[in-house]
Amino acid sequence: MKKILIIDDEKSICQILSYVLEERGYKTRTAQTGADALQILKDECFDLVVQDLKLPDIEGLDLLKKIKNLYPELIIIVITAFSNWQIAVEAMRLGAFNYIRKPFDNENIVNIVRRGIHQRELAVADREKDSKIIGNSLQMQKLKSLIQRVAPTDATILIHGESGVGKELVARAIHNFSSRQEQVFISINCGSLVENLLESELFGHVQGAFTGAIQSKKGLVEVANSGSLFLDEVGEMLLSTQVKLLRVLENREFMPIGGVKAKKTDVRFITATNRNLQEMVKRGEFREDLFYRLNVIPIEVPSLRERKEDIPLLAGYFLALYTQKNNKNVTGFSAEAMQLLHDYNWPGNIRELSNVIHRTVVLCESSIIQKEDLEIHDNTASDNSLPELIEDGFDLENQLTKVECFYIKEALAKTNGNLTQAAKLLNLSFRSLRYKVKKYGLKL
């Protein structure tokens, strides 16, 4: 049932509109002042607002602007006296969907409301399609609801979640549902660049600031002005860069490398990490003041093993995507194959599921994917008991070091010693891999 808020200082008008709309199957609430309307909108979600432009406590156009700034997706229909057509035009310019002139016709109001509701449904469907957040589990329903509640604000977001859960998709969805949706969305992985390059990428530099700076360059903080900037793996940022980021968050200004004059910016920061920043704060690896600035609204993205009921939906989506891209006639999964997908724990989360289905589609020779086609192993029936330990004890730390060294050496061998490419193979940040190579004394 669609919900409509009616705002009019005349109680009789509120009652008439409420009766007419509820007769057509809508649910309504009424408010006779702008302050009451804003409080109701804060407490409840609505699909459409019918608002008079004459209110006792606030100018109608001012209220319209406030509502559109707070809830840009909300459809607003204004009511105006017949002689106030110029105000109606101004209301349309400010974002009103349509206007109703007094005295009004009930059927005309219903038709305009229906068109407004339809317009909102189309807009929401487009946003959800763009964001590609797939899943109907309780966890995902809560996540989608939280995204729609926080997106219209300008609050800084910190997205938590394991690697591969889709943190960037969540960030894009927040941008798509925000008032900045028509502006630029820029994403940068803080762990993919050595630190001096990261600082230059974020804040820019002036000509001659350092060796190789043959011309001035704008940073992403400046390029993303009026839009959204997504900082992935923000926990990989060095303390020196954290100080500069804190200044942007506090004062909305930054200094390019080598610059002498601060620049202003209006950018919304959305950050993400798979690390425990609170533990990093305790160890002195992450600034406490920056953590609280970033963690205004924390969002936790569940792992795939926590929402296994979504696996069939995701599998179907990736199957359709990769069959089209590779011009293959693969139409589905056998019951055994789907059961294996469901039972597997997916340590790499959605990224791993995507890769498995992509590989399977490319190699599959029939129209139905069988269990044998999937290059994964059912780990639900594995023996969880610990191996027998020798009587003198077991050096776990030493064994883990050997395993870690082995895989790092393999990755470096495959990439001819390229740290950046090896880090991607190991799903590590550049800084983490560089630290481990130095720690274990490995040669490139």
State pLDDT tens for residues 52-74.
Answer: 988 999 998 999 999 988 888 89
Residue 212 pLDDT grade (very low, low, confident, very high; cuts 50, 70, 90): confident
Say whether both 292 and 325 belong to one domain: no
CATH (domain of 415): 1.10.10.60
Q: Let me know if residue 217 belongs to a domain.
A: yes
CATH (domain of 351): 1.10.8.60
Say whether both 240 and 163 belong to one domain: yes
Say whether both 262 and 336 belong to one domain: no
Tens-place pLDDT, residues 116-143: 888 787 766 665 554 578 888 889 989 9
Q: Let me know if residue 146 belongs to a domain.
A: no
Joined tokens for residue 235: 């926990």
Say whether both 175 and 277 belong to one domain: yes
Q: Let me know if residue 283 belongs to a domain.
A: yes
Give the residue-averaged pLDDT of 184-201: 84
Backbone angles phi, psi at 400, to 5 degrees: -65, -40
Say whether both 38 and 83 belong to one domain: yes
Closest CA to 298 of 272, 278, 275, 269: 272
Between the CA of residue 428 and those of 190, 416, 421, what are the distances in Å?
12, 17, 10
Tens-place pLDDT, residues 325-364: 999 999 889 999 999 999 999 999 999 999 999 999 999 9
d(C-alpha 32, C-alpha 7), whole Å: 6
Per the structure, the complete domain to which residue 402 belongs is given by 396-440
Calculate what percentage of the chain has a pLDDT beyond 70.
91
Alpha helices in 212-348 (DSSP H): 220-223, 239-251, 277-282, 288-294, 311-325, 335-343
CATH (domain of 31): 3.40.50.2300
Does the pLDDT of residue 250 top 90, yes or no? Answer: yes
Say whether both 364 and 425 belong to one domain: no
Does the pLDDT of residue 23 top 80, yes or no? Answer: yes
d(C-alpha 420, C-alpha 414), whole Å: 12
Say what the pTM is.
Answer: 0.61
Q: Let me know if residue 435 belongs to a domain.
A: yes
Say whether both 96 and 157 belong to one domain: no
Q: Let me know if residue 142 belongs to a domain.
A: no
Say whether both 159 and 283 belong to one domain: yes
The domain tally of the chain equals 4
Lowest mean pLDDT across 90-94, 109-113, 150-154, 319-323:
90-94
Joined tokens for residue 429: 């940040």
Say whether both 336 and 418 belong to one domain: no
d(C-alpha 134, C-alpha 316), whole Å: 10
**CB under 8 Å to 337, separation ≥6 — which residues?**
369, 370, 371, 373, 374
Cis ω before 256 (30° cut-off from 0): no
pLDDT at 369: 93
What b/e sequence results for 201-222 when a residue is b if at least 16 CB atoms lie within 10 Å of its CB, and e otherwise? bbbbbbeebeeeeeeebebbbb
Q: Let me know if residue 245 belongs to a domain.
A: yes
Average pLDDT, the chain: 86
Say whether both 185 and 202 belong to one domain: yes
Q: Let me know if residue 291 belongs to a domain.
A: yes
Q: Let me know if residue 143 belongs to a domain.
A: no
Lowest mean pLDDT across 33-47, 53-67, 201-215:
201-215
